[in-house]
Amino acid sequence: MHGGLDNITLSEGACPRSSFNCSFDYPTPLCEGWTQRTSDPIHPEFVNSTENQYLQVPDHTGNGGTFATIHKRFLNIGQLVSPKIFLNESSIYCLDFWYYINGSNRVGLEVFDHHYLTYVDGNNLKWFRSVAPTWQHGLIEIGKNESS
């Protein structure tokens, strides 16, 4: 299984206005404040589709951009963690991103609302998608009082 993730934005109000942009482009592929969980057995690679010949999927823009990709092995999990984002409790926000997932039907992309820096247990699953062999546009509304 392998999948990709790119152009993550979060904005206040209805989609698609953006207030920050994490595109994974060079020279700093991991966006400012984002981290990889060091305890995870696998970590994302940041690849440019025009420079990496083994990829079967170009970047979603068609312009040869860079994106995060994970090559999953049996029962392994890789996580990207955003910096702490303070949201206005009375507002609705939109998380906007692009993704693809190649592999068996036992793989997927999950987005969690982490109120505390803990593992998946105790956090709210906001969104889940399984196999999508071509780039898909993901939009998740984060409602009032759901994030901190």
pLDDT band at 109 (very low <50, low <70, confident <90, very high): confident
Q: Is residue 97 part of a domain?
A: yes
Query: Taking residues 85-99, what's their average pLDDT?
Result: 79
Residue 134 included in any domain: yes
Give the number of domains in the chain.
1
- Predicted TM-score of the model (pTM): 0.66
Q: Strand 124-129 relative to strand 109-113: parallel, antiparallel, unpaired? A: antiparallel
Written in H, E and C, the secondary structure of 28-84 is: CCCCCCCEECCCCCCCCEEEECCCCCCCCCCCCCCCCCEEEEEECCCCCCCCEECCC
Considering the domain boundaries, does residue 147 fall inside one?
no
148 inside domain: no
Residue 76 has pLDDT above 70, yes or no: no
Residue 82 clears pLDDT 70, i.e. is over it: yes
Contacts (Cβ under 8 Å, ≥6 apart) of 76: 40, 41, 42
Task: Report the relative pairing of strands 93-102 and 35-36 from DSSP bridges.
Answer: unpaired
What is the C-alpha separation between 94 and 8, in angstroms, rounded? 10
28 exposure class (CB count in 10 Å sphere: 0-12, 13-18, 19+) = exposed
- Residue 19 placed within a domain: yes
Is residue 89 over pLDDT 70? yes
**What is the reported pLDDT for 137?**
84
* pLDDT classification of 84: cutoffs 50, 70, 90: confident
By the 8 A CB rule, do 111 and 126 touch? yes
In a domain, 68, yes or no: yes
Stronger pLDDT, 19 or 145, i.e. the higher one: 19
Residue 60 lies in domain: 2-142
In a domain, 21, yes or no: yes
Write down the pLDDT at residue 148.
Answer: 40
Q: Using the Cα atoms of residue 11, residue 124, residue 131 and residue 39 in order, give the sign of their dihedral.
A: positive
pLDDT of residue 34: 72
